[in-house]
Structure 1
Amino acid sequence: MEQTDEEFFHDFRQELLAGAEANGSFQLSEFMEAIANDLVETGFTEGFELCHFRAQRGMRVDGYWFNDEGVLDLFIADFDSRNELASLTRTEVAAAFKRVANFFEASANKGLAGELEVTSPEYGLARQIADRKDAIRQVNLVLFSERTLSEKIQALPDTEVAGVPVAHHIWDISRLHRQRSSRSHKEPLDLDFEQMFGKGIACLPAHLGTDAYQSYLMVMPAEVLATLYERFGARLLEQNVRTFLQARGNVNQGIRATILNEPGMFFAYNNGITATAQSVETGMTDSGLAITRVVDLQIVNGGQTTASLFHTRKRDKADLSQIFVQLKLSVIDSLQSETVVPRISEYANTQNRVNAADFFSNHPFHVRMEGFSRRIWAPAQKGAPRETRWFYERARGQYADAQSKLTPAEQRRFKAEHPKPQMFTKTDLAKFENVWDDHPRWVNLGSQKNFARYAARIGSEWEKSSDAFNEFYFKRAVARGLIFRATERIVSAQPWYNGGYRANIVAYTLAVLGDITKRRKESIDFLGIWNAQKVDPVLESAIAVVSGVVNDDIIRPPQGISNISEWCKKEACWTRIQARTDAIANLLPPEFYDRLVPQDDQAAIVKTAKQTQRIDNGIEAQRKVLAVPAAEWARIHQSLLEKDLLTPKEDGVLRVAMQIPSKLPTEKQSVVLLDILDKGRLEGVVVSEP
């Protein structure tokens, strides 16, 4: 049953109140972070930095993000912790945008930074706007509102502030509700080529009448592609490709050289682009069929080509008028897209395989973590009546989807078993892990870039040994999550905390604690934290001490760097803090060290967990193999034998499987049999899925 906006508003408000209490943050901060997280996940913005500033002179800002492509997103809130859903008028929208535009103008042209406190977030932002003024090519003003627009405000006209083009975006409760409940959990782009470019784009149908899906070959003008990327950025890229691009540089030098030196040969040299859409509209023109409109265009391969066309046009003032790109477009409805699109992405990206690129939500690592999260009960806290679970959301929206078909009573039970504060996503997991593994700087780059680096790291570790990702890894990750969220709460409560840079302080505080323990060849007792399901007072006070020193360090960036959050993204920042580790270690009480456990003990636990995982993998492989009937194994054996594709070992193992149930393959043989199934699929042998 579809929720109304009213019901969504009340649920969202309850989440907000619970989140603010759990994180020790103000409701306004929680409101901004909650919506920004959604928009980062779906690629609407690359990141979000909290920065609340209001002045008498009609100025206000609540957050910002500079991306690497000369775009500045400035966020402003319409939030008053209202109890009921109210409506937002055009006049109020205009007033809010005016206030945030005033802040930009005062920062760019009127020396606002000179009037602000040097360690405050607003000083860092105003100063950065002034310093980067010439490099900012586009400003997006984004209004987050807890109300709903009283009238459907059509696209607000683009304007200019301080000589920079400005676009306006409104995320009200209705739009947030639509985004969260849409099948793909993101707002689809609706591109009308005739309206945007004056005409459709020539295409050739590449499907036969009865095919399950339609596909088209298009010759895409590079100008169109670069303009789409300029306007919509990462929203055009399927999540995977976005992750892949985050892990790599922006401009491919080979592509750039062709654009500048041999534009006429671009079509011949370039592999082209693979894309998907939910639906398309076509029309006949004098020169044949043309696509006039596309809903939810997603580039699944060719993100680098697209980004490079845009950057070369911008930086090198390149003329793209002679350049065309071959584009293969498959129309796949949203029901199929969750399974088909990642496959297209995986296969289309094989020529530039990178672990981050195929590390999307159905990678076996995430599937295994999800399995643990649905199976393992977290111990009940003292005084709590029941055990609960930590819900790992490997694909966007799973937590909401899991409840959508339940009755109200079942929903209450689900929420009691899986409390909202115990839900965590792929990007959360990447943060929890990277701060302890010597990578606090990555965490400060923003959740998408941090996830890209985590993905590359885990992807290669999985290839070496997937047994390392076991029950202990899951429990330790949850314990790290408990510490991470406790640190957010502790930092917010400190008397020195002035409302800014919390994410930076948290990342470096935990990295310092990790560094102190590693130097002593010891470790925080993560299993102890998992068992207690909370952080003990001794660790809490250590976090308070370390965070104070970290704060003192980061608010004094070296000469020439004015923005503290920019300084926190540099390796030099971590190096400088690490140099103080021994001094910080002396500030911690003996009780802190008494609670640490020797690394050797951890190593023994890890070894046992790996062995258990190996056995589990074997049992799981056996279960899958036994689910395939003997006659099916015989058919696979026959097909592969005819194609001369079996090694002697595979032949022998298949002969065992052909005798199920009188003979049972061992665990090791079962792993080989699953590989044979994969080989069969690649060779076109249809296998009924176990």
Structure 2
Amino acid sequence: MEVSELYKYRQDVLDNSKDEDGFIEEQSVLSQVLPYLLDAKVVDTEECYETYGLSDEDNWKINAYIVNDSTERLQLFVVDGDSIDESLEEEQLNVSIKADYEKQLKQGLRFFQKAVKGDFTNKLQDSSPVKALAHKISSETGIVQFDVIEIFLISLSATVSNQGNETKPRKVHFKDGNYKIKFEIDGDTRTKDFLIVNRVIDLNFIANVIISRGHREPLTVNFKRDFERRIEVIQAANEKNFESYLCVLDAAVIAELYKRHSSRLLEKNVRSFLQFKGVNKGIKNTIRTQPEQFIAFNNGLTITASSANVATYKKVLCLESLTDFQIVNGGQTTASIYFSQKEGLDISKVKVMAKITIAKDIDEKEMDSLISNISRYSNTQSRVSNVDLNSRSPQLRKIKSLSESIVTPSGCKWFFERAKGEFNTMVRKAGSNGARKKKEFPNSKRFSKEQLAKYYLAWGEQPHVIKKGGEKVFRHLMEAIEPKDEGADIIDIDRVFYENLIAKIILFRGMEKIYGQGKNAIGQLRSAVIPYSLSILYITTDAKFEQNFKLDLGRVWRSEYLENDLSEFLTMLMMLVNELIKKYSASDDYGEYSKKEELWLAIKHCREIKEFLKNEFTIRIIKKYTI
């Protein structure tokens, strides 16, 4: 790919980040880029916690953070503000010097280093968006919880090489680092060594994700370099399209693999997005009481890769590296070993059998089919649903078809992007008419399948699930609109369904606009407050459907905006919910705790909500906007 082609993707991100006045904020750019990180499987959700903070004096900056599903990895995001300046020429955005990135990555590391020391929190004002995160990092809980600090620099620049007379795109990598601190628990002084991982998300990365149509970023594991050891193997098969090896892995290698790569190891596992609710008791008990017996009791790991580096060392066949490494069976074993070690259990005597299958001379589609079959036939730990194995759905195609045919009352259409990059592909195919297509379908009139899941499911009683974002919410959507259980009713995707869906999108996005971002926002909990507020509205209206009491979504569809008194009501509701999340949260990390059902139930049944729903203005609004 030519460097000039990368800047087409930059303009797409910038155009989609603009507000109604054409202004571009760093947080808006981040929200556009995060779905690409989710597609590449380097994050578990696109729902980040906005925590903008900047200090030129102390040289630190942070825009947002995410805690991964298994909670041991803290991901910090820093946006390169200069790279989103539309006035810059392409040549000014070409980065050939690695140090230009390192300087900005250090701003994120500097924030973590200051936060983890503890006294930094006391210097922050109570209203500071970063105070809750800084307190979490420096707390005993945070220090014990986080093992990996991953710092992402989001830069709409192109990383290039200027060798010779040509400027070509190139990849940039950073060595992992460590940061060691001393802390106290119950009077005992302990040491914690954090793994520091730096990553640059540039135009090269975004283009690769789009071109690969959302396939995850291939993971290469170099045992010889990263673990300073060779893995002895026995070749079990050497067929036309694959070869297989058998080996025994030390538990320490498995634990280190999980620490370095977390859920990316399991991306092609059919249950990769099912959360680990704690260490498997049976595995944990074996590690504690009979570690030498572990290899006999456990089914082991099934690993796939697209290529391998195998060499003979002292007459022994050794595995040195694997490309496109994935654990397709044994995810629970992998995570359980890691968290057992984290809890202090000795894993030095634990060994695990592993079968490694290397695909040869096959394309991506055949690779997916091979891995899917390996997953299907080797996986016997729990029932695997068709939703787990395949997210394609006739129901989604029906929604796509309706979006192409149904015109809104104002004469417009909405664009449903069922496949990643579908809209930008259409614009480019339109050639000189591309600008007209962008005007016809502005960002406010487009939604992806991930957004579809969030908007549709937000109208219900699971706001804590919506907060989890990503594949978890999408899986809930598929189970709702196309259940696989025998005898379950399949939702009829018709015009009424589609019009109500668009009304829910208008409602959700209207609330996002009311809540606001940055200094003028109601608070710093927008991604939690909106689904929680919608759930309160839902239980007040549609949940009482047996009493013929239902929100008039048709009215929202026809008007295509939120009327003034409804906006005023939603403002009051969100302000209340914003405070209730903080009041009833059992953790200072409000965003993370909002993923728990306990918080939703506490707010749902609290005195403040009951009083709010009884006031005269609320009653009048509910009466006006329900049928």
Structure 1-normalised TM-score? 0.75
Tell me, yes or no, if the aligned pair for 1:476 and 1:527 is still in contact at 8 Å. yes
Cα distance in 1 for residues equivalent to 2:514 and 2:542? 23
Partner of 1:27: 25
The structure 2 residue matched to 1:483, chosen from 501, 507, 519, is: 507
Matches within 5 A, 1:556-567: 556-557=583-584, 561-567=587-593
Matches within 5 A, 1:510-529: 510-518=534-542, 520-521=544-545, 522-529=549-556
SS of residue paired to 1:65: strand
Partner of 1:108: 116
Cα distance in 2 for residues equivalent to 1:557 and 1:24? 38
Q: String of CA shifts for 1:234-286, please: whole Å, max 9, x gaps.
A: 1111255454432x424211122222322333232222222322222322334
SS of residue paired to 2:404: coil
* Alpha-carbon distance change, 371 to 99 in structure 1, aligned in 2, over 3 angstroms: same
Tell me, yes or no, if the aligned pair for 2:295 and 2:350 is still in contact at 8 Å. no
* Alpha-carbon distance change, 77 to 46 in structure 1, aligned in 2, over 3 angstroms: same
Partner of 2:216: 186
Partner of 1:16: 14
* Alpha-carbon distance change, 135 to 525 in structure 1, aligned in 2, over 3 angstroms: same
The structure 2 residue matched to 1:447, chosen from 461, 470, 490, is: 470
Cα distance in 2 for residues equivalent to 1:407 and 1:214? 45
Partner of 2:382: 352
Tell me, yes or no, if the aligned pair for 2:18 and 2:28 is still in contact at 8 Å. yes
Q: Residue 133 in 1 paired to residue 160 in 2?
A: no
Partner of 2:154: 144
Cα distance in 2 for residues equivalent to 1:333 and 1:554? 48
Q: Residue 82 in 1 paired to residue 108 in 2?
A: no
Equivalent residue letter for 2:422: Y
Q: String of CA shifts for 1:474-494, please: whole Å, max 9, x gaps.
A: 554443233222221221179
Cα distance in 2 for residues equivalent to 1:354 and 1:335? 21
Equivalent residue letter for 1:515: I
Cα distance in 1 for residues equivalent to 2:175 and 2:136? 27
Residue 398 (structure 1) shift: 5.8
Partner of 2:295: 267
Structure 2-normalised TM-score? 0.82
Cα distance in 1 for residues equivalent to 2:72 and 2:291? 25
The structure with the larger Rg is 1
SS of residue paired to 2:274: helix
Partner of 2:455: 432
* Alpha-carbon distance change, 12 to 361 in structure 1, aligned in 2, over 3 angstroms: farther
Tell me, yes or no, if the aligned pair for 2:508 and 2:530 is still in contact at 8 Å. yes
* Alpha-carbon distance change, 432 to 398 in structure 1, aligned in 2, over 3 angstroms: same
Partner of 1:285: 313
* Alpha-carbon distance change, 556 to 208 in structure 1, aligned in 2, over 3 angstroms: closer
Cα distance in 2 for residues equivalent to 1:264 and 1:507? 49
The structure 1 residue matched to 2:107, chosen from 99, 113, 120, is: 99
Q: Residue 334 in 1 paired to residue 364 in 2?
A: yes
Cα distance in 2 for residues equivalent to 1:192 and 1:422? 45
Structure 1 residues 449-458 or 560-569, which shifts more? 449-458
Residue 511 (structure 1) shift: 1.0
Partner of 2:332: 304
* Alpha-carbon distance change, 420 to 208 in structure 1, aligned in 2, over 3 angstroms: farther
The structure 1 residue matched to 2:130, chosen from 122, 126, 146, is: 122
Tell me, yes or no, if the aligned pair for 1:64 and 1:74 is still in contact at 8 Å. yes
Q: Residue 503 in 1 paired to residue 545 in 2?
A: no
Matches within 5 A, 1:655-666: none
* Alpha-carbon distance change, 401 to 380 in structure 1, aligned in 2, over 3 angstroms: closer
Q: Residue 52 in 1 paired to residue 52 in 2?
A: yes
* Alpha-carbon distance change, 381 to 136 in structure 1, aligned in 2, over 3 angstroms: same
Residue 448 (structure 1) shift: 4.4
Q: String of CA shifts for 1:103-131, please: whole Å, max 9, x gaps.
A: 22222214222233334431111111121
Cα distance in 2 for residues equivalent to 1:594 and 1:24? 35
Equivalent residue letter for 2:504: R
Point out where structure 1 has 5 or more consecutive residues left out of the alignment. Answer: 598-690
Point out where structure 2 has 5 or more consecutive residues left out of the alignment. Answer: 162-170, 182-192
Tell me, yes or no, if the aligned pair for 1:243 and 1:452 is still in contact at 8 Å. no
Tell me, yes or no, if the aligned pair for 2:66 and 2:74 is still in contact at 8 Å. yes
Matches within 5 A, 1:211-230: 211-230=240-259
Cα distance in 2 for residues equivalent to 1:158 and 1:253? 33
Q: String of CA shifts for 1:403-447, please: whole Å, max 9, x gaps.
A: 499463686787677665555444323322332221112222343
Cα distance in 1 for residues equivalent to 2:580 and 2:137? 23
* Alpha-carbon distance change, 204 to 171 in structure 1, aligned in 2, over 3 angstroms: same
Residue 540 (structure 1) shift: 3.4
Cα distance in 1 for residues equivalent to 2:111 and 2:402? 50
Partner of 2:184: none
Residue 161 (structure 1) shift: 5.9
Partner of 1:602: none
Partner of 1:656: none
Tell me, yes or no, if the aligned pair for 1:121 and 1:501 is still in contact at 8 Å. no
Structure 1 residues 450-459 or 138-147, which shifts more? 450-459
The structure 2 residue matched to 1:550, chosen from 550, 572, 577, is: 577
* Alpha-carbon distance change, 62 to 344 in structure 1, aligned in 2, over 3 angstroms: same
Partner of 1:158: 177
Matches within 5 A, 1:460-471: 462-471=485-494
Matches within 5 A, 1:375-386: 375-377=402-404, 379-384=406-411
Residue 509 (structure 1) shift: 1.5
SS of residue paired to 1:121: coil
Residue 233 (structure 1) shift: 0.7
- What is the number of residues matched between the two proteins? 585
Cα distance in 1 for residues equivalent to 2:85 and 2:179? 33
Cα distance in 2 for residues equivalent to 1:16 and 1:150? 21
Tell me, yes or no, if the aligned pair for 1:220 and 1:327 is still in contact at 8 Å. no
Structure 1 residues 79-88 or 26-35, which shifts more? 79-88
Residue 59 (structure 1) shift: 2.0
Residue 514 (structure 1) shift: 0.7
Tell me, yes or no, if the aligned pair for 2:118 and 2:138 is still in contact at 8 Å. no
Tell me, yes or no, if the aligned pair for 1:226 and 1:310 is still in contact at 8 Å. yes
Residue 147 (structure 1) shift: 1.7
Cα distance in 2 for residues equivalent to 1:421 and 1:113? 38
More helix by share: 1
Cα distance in 1 for residues equivalent to 2:215 and 2:530? 29
Q: Residue 362 in 1 paired to residue 386 in 2?
A: no
* Alpha-carbon distance change, 481 to 272 in structure 1, aligned in 2, over 3 angstroms: farther
* Alpha-carbon distance change, 228 to 520 in structure 1, aligned in 2, over 3 angstroms: closer
